[in-house]
Amino acid sequence: MRLGLFMMPVHPPGRPFFETLAEDEEKSLYAEELGFDELWLGEHFSATTEPIPSPLMFMAGLIPRTKNLTFGTAVICLPNHHPIKVAAEVAQFDHMSRGRFMLGIGVGGLFSDFELFDNGDRKVRERKAIESIDMVERIWAQDPPYDIKGEFWSVKLTEAIIPELGIGTMPKPYRKGGPPIAMSVASRNSPTARVAAQRGWGIISANNVPSQALGSHWEVYSKACADAGRPARGDNWRVSRNVMIAPTESEARDRVYSDKGSNRYFYAYMREVLSRVGLLSALKPRVDMSDEEATVEAITEGSVIYGSPKTFLDKLIAFRDSAGPFGTLLMTGLDWSGPNRAWERNSMRLLAQEVMPKFRQHLTAQAAAE
C-alpha cells in the first residue's frame, strides 16, 4: 500500500499566484520529508482556484530536492495539447526524474478550459484523447521518419532528417516503452475505467467521488481486465480522498466542518461549480438524493474520511473493504489559509507516521490469512 499526495489544487480565488505556488511547493516537500511515495498534480489554464497550467514545470523544480517521491500528472488534458508536444515533454521529464514519473491522462474537467481550447463536445474530447495517446506511444516506439495521420492531428517528419546528426529524431522516454499510464475516473460506473483496463493502464478515482460510488470503479475495471485476458491488479488503482486526522475524533470533525476549514471550502466550491453545469449528481452520496438534500455537509460526510489516528485507521480499513483493493491512497492537498496549514501538516504527519504503518500491517496480515 503506497501513500501519495494529490493536489488539484483548490485555493480561494483571491490569493496571489506566487503565494499559492510557494505553498504547494512547501506541501510537496513536506510530503517528501514524511516519506510519502507519490505526488500527483492537476492541470488547469483558466481558474485562479486551480491555477497550475503546467504540472510538469512545477514538478521539475522538485526533482533535485526529492528522493522518495514519484511524480504524476493528474491529469494532462490531452485534447488541449498537440501529441508532439506531449510526447517530447513527457520524455524529457522522464529523463530528468530518472524514471520517477507516471503519466496521468484524461479529457479534462474544467468547463472554462473547454471553452478556451474550443473543446466543448465531450464525445470529441474523448476521441481526441485516445488519438493523442495513440500518437504519443507511436512516436516513442519508432525512429524517423514519422508520418502519422489522425482525425484531429497529424505528425509528419519525413524529409528534414539527418540521422548522423540526430536531426529529425524525437526524444524517447527514460524507460523503454514509456512511463506507466493512468486515467482519471469520476462518475459512477465510469466507462473510462473500462477504456483504461482495455489498454492495460491504471485508474485514479477522483477525490470528489462519493465513497459509496468507488466500488463501481473497481467492478467496471476488474471486469474489463478479465474480458481483456489480464488480471486486475489493485496496484494499478489509486483512490484520492479528502482526509483529516487530529488528536481526537471531535477535533477532526470540527476541523472538517469548520467555517474556516479548507474541506468546507473545497466542497462548497465543488458543489457550486458542478451545480452550475448540471453535474451536481456526481457529488451526491446517494443516487436518489435530491439537489436540496445534497448540502455541503451531506456531500462532505459522504466523501471525507476523518478521525483520531485510531478511529481513522478503523474507518480506512472499512473503507477499503467496501470500495475494493486499491493499492495507493492519495491524500488531497488542500489550501493552507488560516488554521489549515497547522491542521493539514498535523494530518499528513499522523497519516504517514501513525496510521499507514498499522494499515500496512493489517493488509499484510489479511493477505496472509487468505
Mean pLDDT (whole number) for 348-365: 98
List beta partners, residue 156. Answer: 147
pLDDT-derived band of residue 1, with 50, 70 and 90 as boundaries?
Answer: very high
Q: What would the grid cell of residue 179 be?
A: 512511463
Helix, strand, or coil (residue 84): helix
Rounded to the nearest integer, the mean pLDDT of the chain is: 97
Express as a percent the part of the chain with pLDDT over 90: 98
**What pLDDT is stored for residue 370 in this prediction?**
84
Contact of 323 with 338, CB cutoff 8 Å: no
How far, in Å, CA of 285 to CA of 289, rounded? 7
Band of residue 255 on the pLDDT scale cut at 50, 70, 90:
very high
Overall average pLDDT of the 82-99 stretch: 98
What pLDDT shows up at residue 127? 98
CB 119 within 8 A of CB 109: no
Decide if 125 contacts 103 (C-beta within 8 A): no
In terms of pTM, does the model score above 0.85?
yes
pLDDT at site 358: 98
Q: Is the pLDDT of residue 246 over 90?
A: yes
Give me the architecture of the 2-74+180-242+307-369 domain, per CATH. Answer: Alpha-Beta Barrel (3.20)
- CA–CA distance, 205 with 238 (Å, rounded to integer): 6
- Tell me the average pLDDT across 45-72: 97
